[in-house]
C-alpha cells in the first residue's frame, strides 16, 4: 500500500489551472466525480479532456531530481516515463496517462515530460471481516464493516512497541479470494453502497455528493513494489500490508509484541 512520502517535491501549479470542482479535479485526485453514485463512473469526456493542463511547475528539485511520482493540487499524481512504461507493461489499458511538461516555477529549467495518471481502478476486494479498523486514539480495535463505519474506515496500523519509532508499522488488511489476481495499482473502496457517505452538495443544488472513505488509499502489488525497489523509483514510501488473521494481532498484542 502507498502511504507517506519519500524524496518529495512541491508542485507550484498547473497551466491551465485545474479548478477545484466535483468533476475533473475530483476525478483526477479521487478517481471519480463527487456526484458518482456507488458503482457509477462518470466518463472523462472530450470537454473535460480539453481542460487538462499541459504544464506543471515545481520548486527546485532535490539533488536526486524530479521524483518519479509526485502530487499536484487538484491534478493528482504525476508520473515519470519509466513508471508509466512499467504500469502499461503490467496492466495494459488499465490506466490513462496525459503528458505534461515539468518546469521550474521561475522558468529557469525544464525537466521534460511527465504524465498525469488517471487512476480510476477501484475493485471491491477488501474483506472487511478480516481487516482491522481502529477508533479514536487506537481504541475499539476490531474487524468488520460496522467497526469500519464507526471510524470512517481508518485502518489500524500494527506497530512494534519496542522499536524506537513507534510509527513504523503497517495496516492489517486481507483481501477477498482471487481479488488481487492481475492487479498492480488500484484505489481502495468501501465497496457496498451502504458504506458510502452521502450528503446534499450545498454549492450545487439538486446534487448529492458521495464519499468513499477508502478512495484515497492506493495499493500496489508485490511485483510493482519490487520494481520500485529494484529501479529506485522515487516519490512514494511503500508500506507493507500485513495479511495475517485478525486473531494473530490479538495474540501478538497479548504477548506485548505489537500495539
Residues 111-127: tens digit of each pLDDT: 999 999 999 999 999 99
pTM, to two decimals: 0.93
Listed by start position, the domains of the chain span 7-118, 128-255
Q: Examine the pLDDT at 14 and tell me if it is beyond 80.
A: yes
pLDDT digits (tens, 9 = 90+) for 169-184: 899 999 999 999 999 9
pLDDT of 69 over the 80 cut: yes
pLDDT per position as a tens digit, 36-64: 999 999 999 999 999 999 999 999 998 88
pLDDT at 137: 62
Q: What pLDDT shows up at residue 259?
A: 84
3-class secondary structure for the chain?
CEEEEECCCCEEEEECCCCCCCCHHHHHHHCCCCCCCCCCCCCCCHHHHCCCCCEEEECCCCCCCCCCEEEECCCEEEECHHHHHHHHHHCCCCCEEEEEEEEECCCCCEEEEEEEEECCCCCCCECHHHCEECCHHHCCCEECHHHHHHCCCCECEEECCCCCCCCCEEEECCECCCCCCCCCEEECCCCCHHHCEEEECCCCCCCEEEECCCCCCEEECHHHHHHHHHCCCCEEEECCCECCCHHHHHHHHHHCCCC
Mean pLDDT of the chain: 93
Amino acid at each position: 500500500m502507498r502511504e507517506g512520502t519519500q524524496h518529495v517535491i512541491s508542485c507550484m501549479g498547473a497551466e491551465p489551472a485545474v479548478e477545484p470542482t466535483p468533476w475533473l479535479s475530483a476525478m483526477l485526485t479521487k478517481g471519480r466525480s463527487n456526484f458518482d453514485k456507488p458503482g457509477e463512473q462518470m466518463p472523462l469526456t472530450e470537454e473535460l479532456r480539453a481542460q487538462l493542463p499541459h504544464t506543471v511547475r515545481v520548486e527546485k528539485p532535490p539533488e536526486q531530481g524530479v521524483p518519479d511520482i509526485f502530487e499536484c493540487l487538484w491534478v493528482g499524481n504525476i508520473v515519470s516515463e519509466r513508471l508509466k512504461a512499467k504500469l502499461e507493461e503490467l496492466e495494459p489499458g488499465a490506466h490513462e496517462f496525459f503528458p505534461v511538461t515539468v518546469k521550474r516555477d521561475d522558468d529557469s529549467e525544464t525537466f521534460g515530460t511527465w504524465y498525469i495518471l488517471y487512476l480510476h481502478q477501484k475493485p471491491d476486494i477488501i474483506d472487511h471481516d478480516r481487516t482491522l479498523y481502529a477508533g479514536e486514539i487506537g481504541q475499539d480495535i476490531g474487524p468488520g464493516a460496522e467497526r469500519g463505519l464507526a471510524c470512517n474506515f481508518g485502518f489500524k496500523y500494527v506497530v512494534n512497541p519496542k522499536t524506537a519509532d513507534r510509527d513504523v508499522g503497517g495496516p492489517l488488511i486481507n483481501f477477498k479470494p482471487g481479488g488481487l489476481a492481475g492487479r498492480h495499482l488500484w484505489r481502495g473502496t468501501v465497496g457496498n453502497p451502504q458504506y458510502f457517505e452521502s450528503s446534499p452538495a450545498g454549492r450545487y443544488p439538486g446534487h448529492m455528493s458521495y464519499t468513499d472513505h477508502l478512495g484515497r488509499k492506493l495499493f500496489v502489488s508485490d511485483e510493482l513494489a519490487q520494481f520500485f525497489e529494484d529501479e529506485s523509483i522515487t516519490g512514494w514510501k511503500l508500506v507493507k500490508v500485513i495479511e495475517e488473521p485478525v486473531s494473530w494481532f490479538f495474540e501478538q498484542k497479548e504477548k506485548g509484541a505489537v500495539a
